[in-house]
Amino acid sequence: MASLPSLHPTSNSIISSRFNSNPQLSLNPTYSLALITPPSSSSLHAPSKTLCTYAVPNANNPRLHRRHGGASRRESSGSRHKTQPLHRDKKNQYQRPNEPRLNDYQLSNQNEPLRSDPPNIDLMDLCLDGKVQEAVDYMAQGISADYRVFCALLNSCGDSDSLELGKRVHEFLKRSPFAGDLELKNSLIQMYGNCGSMKDARKLFDRMRERNIRTWHLMINGYAVNGRGDDGLLLFEQMKKVGLQPDEDTFLVVLSACASAEAVEEGLIHFAAMKDEYGIVPGIEHYLGVVDVLGKSGHLNEAEEFIEKMPFEPTVEVLEALRNFARIHGDMELEDRVEELLVYLDPSKVVADKIPLPSRKKHSATNMLEEKNMVCPYRCTDPYKGETYEKLKGLNGQMREAGYVPDTRYVLHDIDQEAKEQALQYHSERLAIAYGLISTPPRTTLRIMKNLRICGDCHNAIKIMSKIVGRELIVRDNKRFHHFKDGKCSCGDYW
């Protein structure tokens, strides 16, 4: 029997199932419907005869019809085999008169597996409870999210530094009715910046057909936080070229970018332009931004003079910033002078930070290594053995050959020199990096989230590690992102 051609795009499967189930039905290659009768017992070798075929109108008289390729009426009347004719409905689908008619839903789903309805879950309640992973999993099962849910998911992904989870939310947003919403795209940029992926943020920014001034602010601030202040300043110049007028928030992110790039002169120029060119009166936040620009670059005397010339009394935040810069750059005299002022304003600020003490047990150092869709915790008190221990041991040998010298000043315990070096060797962030190196493909970027500030010795060690392993190592401590690559850090050794 010849293969069945398609008579109608919506009824092909129906016709095939009808005729394949009845051996008496067949279609010839010319799309004509034919009824074939089997041979009688007396003439087994005689060819089968077509009883009837489709009828076409006569060319001379449209009311008269003649049959093509079939037997005569006399021949067909003597047949012992009778079959009910097929009727065609309005949708060009063939069925018998006494056969139950299928509706559209049954026709479209009779060859498909049964689908279960999605569970009745409130995604907003899951977001409020912090169960972001569960909410995203339910969305993958077919539960639709509204505008508020997408806002809550993007904020939660940015706060938890979960890049892979944020990318999944981005994919769901692309297929939602809110794909073109500007504020949700701004939230995506903010999420990518908080997760340390400015490459994804810039890709989204370049593809946006519509941007507002907050879009530019988020991009500039993302570059500043991730140690790419130069890119942020270039973006600020591009923002002015498209005709956007800077406001107070614009200069806050611009000063942050200047501090990240250690662009002292440019930062002072932008601060002066606020009032001279744009008529914006600087607030205490802008003065604090200038202190960051000067202090990070090591211009401590200039920072102190700038604070003395402020049109209002310095706040605790300004004095704390100056004291921290003095401590980082080793100016103990300036640190003592600033502490005297802090005692006058808020005595509790000095006692807690004067002598660094080991962290309490409830604030023990914890690192989170994000690997694929899994986040692994590493604590400095856990016993690490096996491949991770061996990998770190081999790295330490390579680091020694590359010129690494342990800085035991960051070990506060009263132990001998060898024990101090061994304690530094097994800090939790180094264990997380060692495990990431043996559990991920080569050249894969490792992302490590630390709940405490990274120590200076680990900062120098990870710079050397990045050069040895040939990977980008991204460490987020409680202050900022550190992008280690080719032996350098994006913070400019300001940790």
Domain ranges of the chain: 384-489
* Least confident stretch, 19-23, 113-117, 192-196: 19-23
- Mean pLDDT of the region 114-133: 76
Mean pLDDT of the chain: 75
Residue 74 has pLDDT above 50, yes or no: no
pLDDT digits (tens, 9 = 90+) for 271-330: 999 999 999 999 999 999 999 999 988 899 999 999 999 998 999 999 999 998 998 888
- pLDDT score, position 54: 46
Does residue 478 or residue 189 have the better pLDDT? 189
Three state DSSP letters for the chain: CCCCCCCCCCCHHHHHHHHHCCCCEEECCCCCEEEECCCCCCCCCCCCCECCCCEEECCCCCCCEEECCCCCHHHHHCCCCCCCCCEECCCCCEECCCCCCCCHHHHHHCCCCCCCCCCCCCHHHHHHCCCHHHHHHHHHCCCCCCHHHHHHHHHHHHHHCCHHHHHHHHHHHHCCCCCCCHHHHHHHHHHHHHCCCHHHHHHHHHHCCCCCHHHHHHHHHHHHHCCCHHHHHHHHHHHHHCCCCCCHHHHHHHHHHHHHHCCHHHHHHHHHHHHHCCCCCCCHHHHHHHHHHHHHCCCHHHHHHHHHCCCCCCCHHHHHHHHHHHHHCCCHHHHHHHHHHHHHHCCHHHHHHHCCCCCCHHHCCEEEEEECCEEEEEECCCCCCCHHHHHHHHHHHHHHHCCCCCCHHHCCCCCCHHHHHHHHHCCHHHHHHHHHHHHCCCCCCEEEEECCCCCHHHHHHHHHHHHHHCCCEEEECCCCEEEEECCEECCCCCC
Q: Does the model's pTM come out above 0.75?
A: no
Residue 372 has pLDDT above 70, yes or no: no
Does residue 157 or residue 40 have the better pLDDT? 157
Split at pLDDT 50, 70, 90, the class of 388 is confident
Does residue 110 or residue 325 have the better pLDDT? 325
pLDDT digits (tens, 9 = 90+) for 89-101: 544 444 445 545 5
- Mean pLDDT of the region 16-44: 41
pLDDT digits (tens, 9 = 90+) for 7-24: 444 444 433 444 344 444
Residue 427 has pLDDT above 80, yes or no: yes
Split at pLDDT 50, 70, 90, the class of 58 is low
- pLDDT score, position 345: 82
- pLDDT score, position 288: 95
- Mean pLDDT of the region 145-172: 87
Split at pLDDT 50, 70, 90, the class of 120 is confident
* Least confident stretch, 62-71, 201-210, 343-352, 439-448: 62-71
Residue 67 has pLDDT above 60, yes or no: no
